[in-house]
Amino acid sequence: MRAVVLRDWDDLALEEIPIPEPGEGEALVRVAGCGICGTDLKIVAGAYEGTWPPSFPFVLGHEWAGEVVSLGPGAEESGLRPGDRVAAENHAGCGMCRNCRAGRYNLCERAGTPGYKLYGHTAQGALAEYAARPARLLHRLPPQVSDDAGALVNQGALGVHAVRRTGLDPGSTAAVIGPGLLGLMTAQVAKASGASRTIVVGRGARLELAKRLGVDEVVDYEQSDPVQALRELTGGRGPERVYECSGDPAAVGQALAAVRRGGRVALLGLAGGKTAQIAPDALTLHEVDLMGIRSSPNAYPAMIELLATGAVQVEPLLTHVYPLERVRDAFDAFRAREAIRPILKP
Ligand SMILES: [Zn+2]
Ligand SMILES: [Zn+2]
């Protein structure tokens, strides 16, 4: 099969590699669409050298959907059948450790050992024609959710996990920093989960897109100070929840400065190993909760439902779709901020 292989840092190439064999409890899936995200760019550039990927050659790709073609031994018990369209999770925790047993398999204590796999990061990803995955990581897509929309479930589910973890209250204001795919989906998830107002902070044309997707207010940080603007839009008090989706370390301090006293700040964007400056007194004196949000445990079914019912819109985000051969163009369009999410179709 054809696959996009990372041969060395900044060295991606289309190669022929063997089709994976589905093992015990696994399904073989024909990949219908796979997105490229900011983490992929950081991985390709070597920001997580020694961890992601553990070695070369490596197949990237962790935001995807496809169609089940065959089942390995024991996988039938999952209820999946060939022909089912599915979206795939990436965190395959060991299932045995304390965190896995508590449902927090995104925080598996065996991370870094062979019993733990993070597909597209420590185990082969899906920028390829086929991928084999444990059936328990696959979630069936209803007809209302297209293959390309299915490739966005991964990022939306991260927003679901963030909204759950921050205990968003009905009637509150949720601010999102960073109008990339993650931010634009998180804002919609927050609205669908009871936020009466959403505000997105960013710049340029993406703010128009945010409005089209139902975001109530936008703040262009090139036109006005984002902290001041968030305060002004909330009667001087600040939003109850701030979701940092940009991965820019400078935004962490802004989020902490803008959030309401007693509010919560969630960090969803990865900073590529960089450090952020924060003022601890702001957390202490205002009893601000600062939380990290990793991946999307138990969140795929809810996200698929939000897409199927139209509560979260993604059609305007699916503007750049490429055949697998054009992987370089797809990366370039993403780097240049032309594409919110390039989708590669093998
Ligand atoms: Zn990603
Ligand atoms: Zn575990």
Query: Separation of 153 CA from ligand 1 center, angstroms?
Result: 10
Both tokens of 89, joined, read 């999770």
**Residue-level pLDDT at 50:** 87
Query: Separation of 188 CA from ligand 1 center, angstroms?
Result: 18
Query: Separation of 281 CA from ligand 1 center, angstroms?
Result: 33
DSSP assignment of 135-178 equals: GGGEEEPPTTS-HHHHTTHHHHHHHHHHHHHTTPPTT-EEEEE-
> Could you report the per-residue pLDDT of 267-302, keeping only the tens digit for each?
998 888 899 999 899 899 999 999 999 999 999 999
- pLDDT confidence bin for 195, thresholds 50/70/90: very high
Query: Separation of 97 CA from ligand 2 center, angstroms?
Result: 4
**Residue-level pLDDT at 330:** 96
**Residue-level pLDDT at 270:** 87
> Could you report the per-residue pLDDT of 120-155, keeping only the tens digit for each?
999 999 999 999 999 999 999 999 999 999 999 999
CA distance 76 to 99: 27
Query: Separation of 282 CA from ligand 1 center, angstroms?
Result: 31
Buried-exposed string 26-41: b where 16+ CB fall within 10 A, e elsewhere: bbbbbbbbbbbbbbbe
Residue 155: what are its φ and ψ, rounded to 5°?
-75, -40
CA distance 200 to 206: 10
Query: Separation of 91 CA from ligand 2 center, angstroms?
Result: 10
**Residue-level pLDDT at 206:** 95
Give the DSSP H or E segment for 70.
Answer: strand 63-71
Per-chain mean pLDDT for the chain: 96
Ligand at minimal distance from the CA of 112 is 2
Ligand at minimal distance from the CA of 99 is 2
> Could you report the per-residue pLDDT of 287-343, keeping only the tens digit for each?
999 999 999 999 999 999 999 999 999 999 999 999 999 999 999 999 999 999 999
Average pLDDT, stretch 249-273?
Answer: 95
Ligand at minimal distance from the CA of 156 is 1
Query: Separation of 113 CA from ligand 2 center, angstroms?
Result: 10
Q: Does residue 115 surpass a pLDDT of 80?
A: no
Query: Separation of 90 CA from ligand 2 center, angstroms?
Result: 14
Task: Give the whole-number percent of the chain exceeding pLDDT 90.
Answer: 94
Give the DSSP H or E segment for 83.
Answer: none
Q: Give the angle subtended at the CA of 157 by the CAs of 216 and 28, to the nearest 5°.
A: 145
Ligand at minimal distance from the CA of 61 is 1
Strands 11-16 and 2-8, sheet pairing:
antiparallel
Both tokens of 139, joined, read 């979630």
